[in-house]
Structure 1
Amino acid sequence: MGGGPEYPQRGEHERELLLCVLPWPEKASEKVIGEIRDEFPNLEMHYIAQTYEDLKTGKTEVPEDLCKRASYLATLSWLPLHVSSVPNVKFIQFYSAGTNHVAKHPIYTDSKIPLCSASGVHGPQIAEWVIMMDLVHSHKYTILYDAQKRKEWKQKVGMEGVSDNVGKRVGVLGYGSIGRQVARVAKAMGMDVIAYTASPRPTPESRRDGGFIVPGTGDPEGEYPSAWFSGLNKDSLHEFLKQKIDLLVLSVPLTKETTHFLSTEEFALLNEVNPAGTYIANISRGQVIDQPTLVKALERKQIRGAALDVTDPEPLPADDPLWTAPNCLITPHVSGSTTVYAERAFQVLRENLRRERDGKHLVNEVDRDRGY
């Protein structure tokens, strides 16, 4: 381990405390937790498993003395009410892709405690969701499945207008860990990939992925896109949308700049440059799309369809017109789910424990000014 000490210590016999407040049973990640305990024998771990009701109400009982002693906090959403409650915390490891859900909390706004996301653990399963939804639509599967339930053999329905993805273009709006894995799968299917980022990526070094990467996934070197675009203003976005995109994947963090990033003007532009229709997959946050204008775009056939794992608001009210919009597939914010989610998130935590020990920069540390 680089010849460093086993673990940073406060005293010869005093162990540092890792406090985990998470909505999974400890057993779900026992393998990687055991590896962390073996690697850091001077680290004490206390695990509090939250219930669904805890998450729903936001009320989780965590003893005050544990908060006071904690050197590291691992959490999905729970935080103590006050910064003073965690005087010894060196960093907080969130098990979520972003931290916008705590952006108004005093620990976010009034402290300098490093906050780290679990960005990177969602890439494989969400990329599969994106490609699955695109294929379900392009191969008319929902229509065929409805026919199956009616016990009807409708071969013609499954043959008309079906197209494969070879030679089509996927535009990834937000080329982070999820977008990079979408690109990897899309390239394997013979698609062209173009990328959009907030800041310019003109050099090979700037295009590398500096975050956590699930081994064997993603685009670590930024090699897949045939073209890169960037910016946080509408003119830059429009230049990207003019590239005749067949599948547009929204994977940007929710910030002031990205709120309603796609609205009336953008849907009209997509239709103008690609009359055959762009298919939109949103796995970021519902507010990135101006939802009423999306419904109109679907009704007017300005876009080919939409697959949404996020909506505005959530849960989506039963009377919202989005439910019945044509060519729209909706799932209840589940694309990031996988049986190994918690295990992967603990791998991010382990990496940050190593980096903190070795005096290196933390992985996935949130830039509070940028919001991600």
Structure 2
Amino acid sequence: MAGNETPTNGTSDRQLLLAVLPWPEEDTKPLVKGLEDEFPELEVKYIYEELAKKWDKQGQLQIPEDYIKRAKILATLSWLPSSASAAPNLELIQFFSAGTNHVASHPIYTDSDIPLATQSGIHGPQIAEWVIMMDLIHSHKYIEFYEAQKRKEWDQKRGMKVKDAVGRRVGVLGYGSIGRQVARVAKAMGSDVIAYTASPRPTPESRRDNGFIVPGTGDPDGSLPSAWYSGLEKEKLHEFLRQGIDLLVVSVPLTEKTTHFLSTKEFNLLSSSSPRGCFIANISRGAIIDQAALVEALETEKIRGAALDVTDPEPLPKEDGLWDVKNCYITPHISGVSEDYAQRAFQVLRENLRRRREGRGLVNLVDRERGY
């Protein structure tokens, strides 16, 4: 494994980029070589997380202390040095996840000013496909037909009450890179899209996507929504939810303010404002939804269906009643997975390395106060 030979006491004129990532080294060799070719000033040490854990009898990830002390840049999914003082030369941490809530209580997050960047932007294509797939599975009664197929039943009546996407309203709660790609696909299907953001976006410039964008995807200039809503106050959220939403896509980050953002009152508003009933797709974090309230809303048919790629907690315990709720589709936090994930993630890393070298602002830089 590259970089895991015994460290020497010698020094290198090159800056150390320490990569602690979940892909086998063999799978990332072309991507690492691309880094080394473009940035000859960097020395890359790659550590495969799973293999490193096997080395340690306690199952903890052990990184050579010399690498931690020398590292200028850290590329990681979740591993961090114990503190900023343990990595005195660290100038940038590039997370390979869309958010940083999983490290929000770590000393490097709370007690240092080391710049943190995320992979926001690379998940849009695959998650948007998951959202639309789940919505179509429900609206076109695919599960019923699949079960009928297994029974060898030919029953056309099941398909008579299908509403296609034309003219429906899609509400995107959190109009970031994922929500923008959902909007792009939904608009192509003939749906109307409305957007919700935490802070106001009153001007065309404020509605632009300044993060990483997978080429040919998303809504770079923010022109797709027919209306924009904003504000973390409940009355602002409720104004958005009153707009007759047929498909609600939950893609806000999990923060203290968005925990249980959607509960009984919100489900009642969605129910009363959408004659056809609202379908909810949550691809963000399970705790954004009050899960007990969602179960009640589904069982009483205030909400016509839900697709959950995230739950609270995870993994969802086998005894949890959510598993058995009618019209609830659960997947194990996989909507963001794609064979192109690593390649796109390295694109973001390379973009930030270019910006760092040129003295420009980083892409996907985390605002610690906002939590994302």
2:53, 2:226 → 1: CA distance?
Answer: 46
1:13, 1:143 → 2: CA distance?
Answer: 63
1:294, 1:198 → 2: CA distance?
Answer: 23
2:32, 2:275 → 1: CA distance?
Answer: 52
* Higher mean C-alpha deviation, range 144-153 or range 256-265: 144-153
In the alignment, which residue of structure 2 is the partner of 1:3? none
SS across alignment from 1:315: coil
SS across alignment from 1:68: helix
Change (3 A) 1:53 1:136: farther
SS across alignment from 1:35: helix
TM-score (norm 2): 0.94
In the alignment, which residue of structure 1 is the partner of 2:195? 195
Q: Deviation digits for residues 300-352 of structure 1, max 9, x if unmatched? A: 10011000000000011111111111100000000000011111111110011
Change (3 A) 1:147 1:188: same
In the alignment, which residue of structure 2 is the partner of 1:37? 36
The residue type equivalent to 1:33 in the other structure is: V
In the alignment, which residue of structure 2 is the partner of 1:87? 88
The residue type equivalent to 2:303 in the other structure is: I
In the alignment, which residue of structure 2 is the partner of 1:370? 370
Contact 2:32 2:44 in 1 (8 A): no
1:162, 1:341 → 2: CA distance?
Answer: 34
The residue type equivalent to 2:85 in the other structure is: S
In the alignment, which residue of structure 2 is the partner of 1:8? none
* Higher mean C-alpha deviation, range 147-156 or range 91-100: 147-156
Contact 2:170 2:249 in 1 (8 A): yes
1:333, 1:169 → 2: CA distance?
Answer: 26
SS across alignment from 1:206: helix
2:281, 2:59 → 1: CA distance?
Answer: 30
Q: How many residues align?
A: 359
- Report the identity percentage: 69
2:105, 2:59 → 1: CA distance?
Answer: 15
Alpha-carbon offset, residue 99 of structure 1: 0.2
SS across alignment from 1:83: coil
Change (3 A) 1:13 1:318: closer
The residue type equivalent to 2:43 in the other structure is: E
Contact 1:306 1:329 in 2 (8 A): yes
2:30, 2:46 → 1: CA distance?
Answer: 15
2:59, 2:112 → 1: CA distance?
Answer: 21
| Structure 2 stretches lacking a partner, 5+ long | 1-10
Alpha-carbon offset, residue 47 of structure 1: 0.3
In the alignment, which residue of structure 2 is the partner of 1:165? 165
In the alignment, which residue of structure 1 is the partner of 2:48? 49
SS across alignment from 1:179: helix
In the alignment, which residue of structure 2 is the partner of 1:335? 335
TM-score (norm 1): 0.94
Contact 1:275 1:302 in 2 (8 A): no
1:244, 1:105 → 2: CA distance?
Answer: 41
1:358, 1:370 → 2: CA distance?
Answer: 27
Alpha-carbon offset, residue 27 of structure 1: 3.0
| Structure 1 stretches lacking a partner, 5+ long | 1-11
2:12, 2:347 → 1: CA distance?
Answer: 27
In the alignment, which residue of structure 2 is the partner of 1:181? 181
In the alignment, which residue of structure 2 is the partner of 1:115? 116
Matches within 5 A, 1:155-304: 155-157=156-158, 159-304=159-304
1:42, 1:58 → 2: CA distance?
Answer: 34
Alpha-carbon offset, residue 45 of structure 1: 0.3
Higher relative contact order (CA 8 A, sep 6+): 1
* Higher mean C-alpha deviation, range 147-156 or range 244-253: 147-156
Contact 1:299 1:326 in 2 (8 A): yes
Alpha-carbon offset, residue 193 of structure 1: 0.5
SS across alignment from 1:172: strand
In the alignment, which residue of structure 2 is the partner of 1:5? none
Change (3 A) 1:299 1:237: same
* Higher mean C-alpha deviation, range 170-179 or range 144-153: 144-153
2:12, 2:173 → 1: CA distance?
Answer: 50
SS across alignment from 1:353: helix
